[in-house]
């Protein structure tokens, strides 16, 4: 069987035979039956309520359960095995699809031990293994004895500890976000990876064991007793971090209000009107109750002219969106402060709920400057940091500067990473206009034509044609890129303009794509993946001439390569990508 | 080694047997779709009148499904190429949209080898490369000889560890 041979050709150090691998706790089966019981009850509920009708149904369900589900649990239990070797955690599982997962120990960020209600009754726990930069948990070992869970965690920590001595060079790796607390907390230093200090990145086994025993006596769910694994002494320094560190950026009330002027929030309006509708309170009634019959004439006038109603509605919605935009913005960013404390950024803001955040500089994957046409007309930008780390709160985009002008944003950005203003960006192929236009037209024809087939007025949608042409041209004008020695700059978007600054050392995977239509036009798109990048808006360089795209990807790849290896020995030795 | 790309001829194709696996899977899928369409049509027929003449959807599904089952695995196989280079894994694929992917070995988080019931019959396996990239958390290299998939995994595994220290 494949599973038996899977590890046989691994080098001696990591060789694990199936006998050495451990099974889950035997109570696994009991627990899984218990957990599946409620679902079974729901299925059987009709019969239980009314025992006369359809007893055969419940018998049938029970039979199905006995024939399929129970053997499946047993088979899953029998197939699941795991082991901790000096280098990795090995998990073998799967009934129909065998899966062998090897998680290198040094990539493990955190091992979380969780105990929910039923496992607590049985004295078992589930182990969640998180690795650097993964979007979700990398490995779950469910239903092991609590002691075994703590033993496993201590083992992994001890092995990581043993390795970390020889680990200096590693932190140059993009998403290595092991906490690396430096003694000089107050010093401002660029986030660019210098040689890492050999600070112990993980607890010494003794302290880990001590903490684990603490955790064991704690009643209630044990939830990652040591989330960051930072050295305990450094931890204390950071506890009151909200007020320490060097102030980088601060917003006063006027500035927050001003920034709200540029934000429209439709969300709350929709929410309010939904609630009003749900409660059965109608705006007409409210208005009548407030004003009596004095505005009957106005109402009648509005009722007679459709365009007046549309105009008034648009005006009202815009006005309300504007007001709620200012209000929500004020609530969110009131008293905004950004502070630099050693290698961490602290943010604090909020009117009713004060939210604080910590962004370790090491977790910053890319810088993103955002704006919209209204904001950019006045030269305003918002700086967000694309982060990626173990903690779910550390993922995605975090606002570092809510509202500032370009030079100020760049200056603040420089305290985070030594970025330079690239000046004018390079354009992609002009054929992008044609491709974008065709895509927009297709959508327009489908929408207006499709709806117009059933409801004729929708055909008026075709008057949007010139706007679509204009939009395609604007998309092209707003799209640009530049590559410097240390960064890739990409700008995209008209209504939501995004300007990414991606450090070379954060590059992950390189893509070159060519769709059918692009093939006809001789275009290609280049994309460099980074941890935590958005799915909808991402820094792809679209519609480059094929040769340019290949060249650009090669340059990016070479920059990445040189960052970790130094310049190549034969700089001229280059072949085509395509 | 610098990140240079050898010509296309240096790239390796997948195991030819993977076409059969894909074909069986596509065949099963389209059989299911056809069965669903047939049931729907019969229900419509019994209920009086359907939105379209009887038999047309079934004929369409049958023709489209058959063409797909015959052509798609073949084309998919034809455009799949990969190469393990000294510092990166290079993949090329895609029928309509051609995608080239360069996964630097130092960016590999961990590796999986998986094999489903069908692949087991043909002794094939998939190598799944996990990276931290948002869109590349799982880069799948299908249609490998199972032995080879494991060897590849172990080679890459060793590489990651050596590189990381």
Task: Return d(Cα A361, Cα A493) in angstroms, integer.
Answer: 27
- Please report which residue ranges of A113-231 form alpha helices under DSSP H: 117-122, 146-164, 205-217
CA distances from A89 to A136, A141, A297, B5, B137 (A): 17, 11, 77, 34, 19
| pTM greater than 0.80 (yes/no) | no
What pLDDT, on the 0 to 100 scale, is given for residue A205? 40
User: Above 70 in pLDDT, residue B142?
Assistant: yes
- Predicted-complex ipTM score: 0.89
Q: How far is CA A109 from the centre of its chain?
A: 17
User: Above 50 in pLDDT, residue A399?
Assistant: yes
What pLDDT, on the 0 to 100 scale, is given for residue A381? 94
User: Would you say how long chain A is, in residues?
Assistant: 578
- Cβ distance of B133 and A530 shorter than 8 Å: yes
Q: Which band of pLDDT confidence, cut at 50, 70 and 90, is reported for residue A278?
A: low
User: Above 70 in pLDDT, residue A295?
Assistant: no
What pLDDT, on the 0 to 100 scale, is given for residue A313? 83
Q: Where are the beta strands (DSSP E) in A361-474?
A: 364-371, 380-387, 396-405
What pLDDT, on the 0 to 100 scale, is given for residue A281? 64
Least confident of A168-172, A349-353, B2-6, B142-146: A168-172
What pLDDT, on the 0 to 100 scale, is given for residue A175? 41
Contact (CB, 8 A) for B12 and B83: yes
What pLDDT, on the 0 to 100 scale, is given for residue A556? 95
Phi, psi torsion values for A72, nearest 5 degrees: -65, -45
Task: Return d(Cα A209, Cα A281) in angstroms, integer.
Answer: 61
What pLDDT, on the 0 to 100 scale, is given for residue A242? 40
Q: Where are the beta strands (DSSP E) in A152-199?
A: none
Mean pLDDT, range A342-368, rounded to an integer: 80
* Interface probe, candidates B102, B128, B160, chain A, greatest A C-beta count within 10 A: B102
Among A residues 154-213, those touching chain B with beta carbons less than 8 Å apart: 163, 166-167, 169-170, 173-175
- Whether A364 has its CB under 8 Å from any CB of chain B: the answer is no
What pLDDT, on the 0 to 100 scale, is given for residue A16? 65
User: Above 80 in pLDDT, residue A526?
Assistant: yes
In terms of Cα–Cα distance, which of A256, A254, A416, A240 is closest to A336? A256
- Cβ distance of B114 and A511 shorter than 8 Å: no
Q: DSSP secondary-structure letter at B138? A: -
Contact (CB, 8 A) for A342 and A181: yes
- Cβ distance of B110 and A104 shorter than 8 Å: yes
What pLDDT, on the 0 to 100 scale, is given for residue A576? 37
With 0-12 CB in 10 A as exposed, 13-18 as middle and 19+ as buried, what is A384? buried
Q: What is the pLDDT of residues A404-426, one digit of tens each?
A: 999 999 999 998 899 988 889 99
**Which of the two residues, A202 and A551, has the higher pLDDT score?**
A551
Encoded tokens for A146: 């609590």
Task: Return d(Cα A195, Cα A201) in angstroms, integer.
Answer: 14
* Interface probe, candidates A509, A522, A556, A562, chain B, greatest B C-beta count within 10 A: A509
What pLDDT, on the 0 to 100 scale, is given for residue A188? 36
Contact (CB, 8 A) for B83 and B105: no
**Which of the two residues, A231 and A341, has the higher pLDDT score?**
A341
Handedness of CA A231, A237, A238, A239 (dihedral sign): positive
Q: How far is A298 from chain B (nearest CA, A)?
A: 48
Q: What is the pLDDT of residues A165-215, one digit of tens each?
A: 554 434 444 344 333 333 333 333 333 333 333 333 333 343 434 444 443
What pLDDT, on the 0 to 100 scale, is given for residue A141? 87
Least confident of A13-27, A85-99, B126-140, B143-157: A13-27
Q: In A, which residues are within 8 Å of B130 by CB distance? A: 134, 138
Task: Return d(Cα A323, Cα A264) in angstroms, integer.
Answer: 8
Task: Return d(Cα A314, Cα A264) in angstroms, integer.
Answer: 13
Q: What is the mean pLDDT of chain A?
A: 75
List the single residue in B with minimal CA-CA distance to A170. Answer: B164
Task: Return d(Cα B10, Cα A5) in angstroms, integer.
Answer: 30
What pLDDT, on the 0 to 100 scale, is given for residue A388? 75
Among A residues 99-118, those touching chain B with beta carbons less than 8 Å apart: 99-104, 106-107
Q: Which of A10, A134, A167 sits opposite B154 (nearest CB)?
A: A10
Residue with tokens 């249609």: B143
User: Above 70 in pLDDT, residue A498?
Assistant: yes
Mean pLDDT, range A259-276, rounded to an integer: 78
A224 CB-near residues (< 8 Å, 6+ apart):
A110, A112, A113, A114
Mean pLDDT, range A342-369, rounded to an integer: 80
Least confident of A4-13, A123-132, A157-166, B32-41: A4-13
Range among A42-51, A299-308, A414-423 rated most confident: A414-423
Q: What is the pLDDT of residues A370-390, one digit of tens each?
A: 999 989 999 999 999 988 754
- Cβ distance of B3 and A508 shorter than 8 Å: no
User: Above 70 in pLDDT, residue A572?
Assistant: no
What pLDDT, on the 0 to 100 scale, is given for residue B49? 72
């Amino acid at each position: 069987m494949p599973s038996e041979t899977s590890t046989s050709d691994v080098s001696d150090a990591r060789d694990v035979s199936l006998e050495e691998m451990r099974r889950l706790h035997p109570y696994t089966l009991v627990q899984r039956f218990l957990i599946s019981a409620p679902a079974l009850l729901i299925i059987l509920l009709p019969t239980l309520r009314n025992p006369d009708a359809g007893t055969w149904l419940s018998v049938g369900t029970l039979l199905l359960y006995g024939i399929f589900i129970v053997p499946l649990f047993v088979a899953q239990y029998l197939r699941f095995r795991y082991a901790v070797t000096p280098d990795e955690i090995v998990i073998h599982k799967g009934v129909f699809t065998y899966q062998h997962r090897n998680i290198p120990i040094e990539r493990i960020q955190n091992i979380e031990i969780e105990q929910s209600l039923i496992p607590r009754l049985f004295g078992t726990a589930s182990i969640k293994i998180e690795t650097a930069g993964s979007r979700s948990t990398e490995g779950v070992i469910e239903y092991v004895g609590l002691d075994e869970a703590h033993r496993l965690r201590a083992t992994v920590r001890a092995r990581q500890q043993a390795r970390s001595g020889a680990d200096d060079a590693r932190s140059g790796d993009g998403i290595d976000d092991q906490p690396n607390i430096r003694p000089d907390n107050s010093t401002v230093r660029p986030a660019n990876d210098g040689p890492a200090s050999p600070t112990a990145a993980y607890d010494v086994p003794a302290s880990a064991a001590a903490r684990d025993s603490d955790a064991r006596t704690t009643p209630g769910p044990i939830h990652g007793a040591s989330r960051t694994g930072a050295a305990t002494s450094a931890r204390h320094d950071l506890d009151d971090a909200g007020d320490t560190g060097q102030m980088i950026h601060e917003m006063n009330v006027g500035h927050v209000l001003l920034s709200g002027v540029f934000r429209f929030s439709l969300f709350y309006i929709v929410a309010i009107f939904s609630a009003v509708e749900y409660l059965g309170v109608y705006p007409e009634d409210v208005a009548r109750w407030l004003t009596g019959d004095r505005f009957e004439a106005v109402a009648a006038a509005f009722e007679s002219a459709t365009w007046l109603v549309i105009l008034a509605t648009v005006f009202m919605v815009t006005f309300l969106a504007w007001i709620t935009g200012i209000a929500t913005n004020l609530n969110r960013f009131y008293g905004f402060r950004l502070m630099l404390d050693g290698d961490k950024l602290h943010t604090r803001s909020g009117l009713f709920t004060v939210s604080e955040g910590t962004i370790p500089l090491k977790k910053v994957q890319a810088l993103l400057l955002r704006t919209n046409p209204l904001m950019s007309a006045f030269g305003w930008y918002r700086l967000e940091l694309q982060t990626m780390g173990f903690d779910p709160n550390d993922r995605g985009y975090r606002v570092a500067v809510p509202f500032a002008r370009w030079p100020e944003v760049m200056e603040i950005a420089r305290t985070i990473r030594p970025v330079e203003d690239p000046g004018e960006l390079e354009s992609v192929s002009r054929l992008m206009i044609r491709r974008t236009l065709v895509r927009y037209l297709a959508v327009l024809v489908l929408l207006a034509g499709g709806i117009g087939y059933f409801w004729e007025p929708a055909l008026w949608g075709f008057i949007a044609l010139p706007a679509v042409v204009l939009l395609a041209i604007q998309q092209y004008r707003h799209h640009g890129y530049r590559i410097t020695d240390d960064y890739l700059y990409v700008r995209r978007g008209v209504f939501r303009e995004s300007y990414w600054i991606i450090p070379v050392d954060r590059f992950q995977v390189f893509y070159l794509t060519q769709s059918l239509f692009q093939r006809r036009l001789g275009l290609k798109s280049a994309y460099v993946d980074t941890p935590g990048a958005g799915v909808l808006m991402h820094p792809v360089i679209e519609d480059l001439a094929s040769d340019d795209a290949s060249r650009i990807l090669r340059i990016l790849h070479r920059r990445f390569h040189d960052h970790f290896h130094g310049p190549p020995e034969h700089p001229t030795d280059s072949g085509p990508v395509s | 080694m610098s990140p240079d790309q050898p010509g296309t001829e240096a790239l390796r194709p997948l195991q030819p047997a993977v076409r059969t696996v894909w074909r069986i899977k596509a065949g099963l899928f389209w059989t299911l779709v056809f069965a669903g369409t047939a049931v729907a049509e019969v229900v419509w027929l019994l209920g009086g009148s359907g939105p379209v003449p009887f038999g047309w959807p079934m004929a369409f599904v049958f023709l489209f499904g058959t063409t797909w089952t015959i052509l798609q695995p073949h084309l998919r196989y034809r455009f799949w190429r990969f190469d393990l280079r000294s510092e990166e894994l290079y993949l090329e694929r895609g029928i309509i949209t051609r995608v080239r992917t360069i996964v630097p070995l130092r960016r590999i988080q961990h590796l999986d080898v998986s094999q489903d019931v069908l692949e087991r019959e043909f002794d094939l396996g998939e190598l799944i490369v996990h990276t931290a990239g948002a869109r590349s958390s799982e880069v799948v290299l299908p249609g490998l000889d199972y032995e080879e998939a494991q060897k590849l995994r172990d080679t890459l595994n060793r590489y990651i560890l050596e590189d990381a220290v």
